[in-house]
Amino acid sequence: MATCVFIPHIGEISTASGVVPLERNGDGLFAVGQNGVVTITATGDRKVEFIAFASHTLAYVRSSMGYPAYYPVHPVELCKPVKAVLMDLDGTSVRSESFWIWIIQMTTASLLGNPRFELEEADLPHVSGHSVSEHLQYCIEKYCSGKTVEEARCYYFEHTGRELKAIVEGCGRRDAFTPSPGLKPFLLALKARGVRIGLVTSGLYEKAWPEVVSAFETLDMGEPATFYDAIVTAGFAIRHGQPGTLGELSPKPHPWLYAETARVGLGIPFDQRNQVVGIEDSGAGVCAIRLAGFPVIGYAGGNIVESGTRGLCQYYCETFDDIMDIILGCRL
């Protein structure tokens, strides 16, 4: 049995990294050995499937909400000087994943009518890094058959509103939003060298913005809206009687948040994409950066290894000091 798989425009990936060889892709349109398909390989969390032909690759992004999509996979390499750094929020810039997983857990508990409910360790790759609706759909399918995403979203925003209000008033969870170690010197070093910085999150604005403000207050870094060169979130939630924005069906691992940050937010054309690098700690984020056409630096501490996406990263680092060495060839 082959121990490695070669995927055009991605390279050779060891099956020991957690990727899963398939005979047919998720919607059944492609099968190995038919119509030029050489291999089909899924990430370990099965969120993205790479359909490899002799000289090109298509990525199939699955959707528990019923709206999958295909994307071309572009070749990437990190070229210097680096013009821009695109950074994930949860887990990369701010340690907040445990808080949002807790909110998902409370939401599921409410759906079940069981306040003692707890998520399992195996659930963690499926309740972080994606959209709120994707997280909730996963929990419904596993724990709450018969419930709807719409019901779950009502509970989710009820819990979110209450807990964020408590944090703002100083009586909520104190460990909710903690800046990642070394974040401040890393950001300041990039700024000092003229590298533009984009902040990218699959989180809705109402949950993401308090995190950013809290982190900048902790670090004494002033106003985040003026510090970052571009900030893109998943927008505003759709609620009855209120307008919402696109964001629940197009988040990571889809490429659009990263593509929009670079092309629209920073004005960097696609043909200069190799001078843009993305930093992510989640498997969904790694896929999003890669499908947007940018090289990826994986940041340890998230679910990259568990999701089977380590092989999609050009680099994998433990600290911001290591990342700075890659980007600018210097230490902090």
pLDDT per position as a tens digit, 4-40: 999 999 999 999 999 999 999 999 999 999 999 999 9
pLDDT in tens, 180-216: 999 999 999 999 999 999 999 998 898 899 889 889 9
| CA–CA dist 151, 260 (Å, integer) | 31
Largest Cα–Cα separation, the chain: 60
In terms of DSSP H, where are the helices of the chain? 97-112, 132-143, 149-168, 183-192, 205-219, 224-227, 256-260, 283-292, 320-328
Q: Please name which of 212, 259, 247, 256 lies closest in space to residue 133, comparing C-alpha atoms.
A: 247
DSSP sequence for 131-152: -HHHHHHHHHHHH-TT--HHHH
pLDDT tens digit sequence for 284-303: 999 999 999 999 999 999 99
**Distances 59 to 19, 68, 175, 214 between C-alpha atoms, Å:** 14, 10, 37, 36
227-266 pLDDT, tens digit each: 999 999 999 988 888 899 998 889 999 999 999 999 999 9
* Model confidence, pTM: 0.88
Scan for tokens 């907040």, then name that residue.
96
Q: What is the CA radius of gyration of the chain?
A: 20
Q: Which residue has the higher pLDDT, 305 or 64?
A: 305
Rounded Cα distance, 69 and 24, in Å: 16
Order of strands across the sheet that contains 48-52: 20-22, 39-42, 48-52, 57-61, 69-72
Rounded CA separation 182/113 (Å): 41
What is the pLDDT at residue 323? Answer: 97
Q: Mean pLDDT across the stretch 122-131? A: 86
Cis peptide, bond prior to residue 255, ω within 30 of zero: no
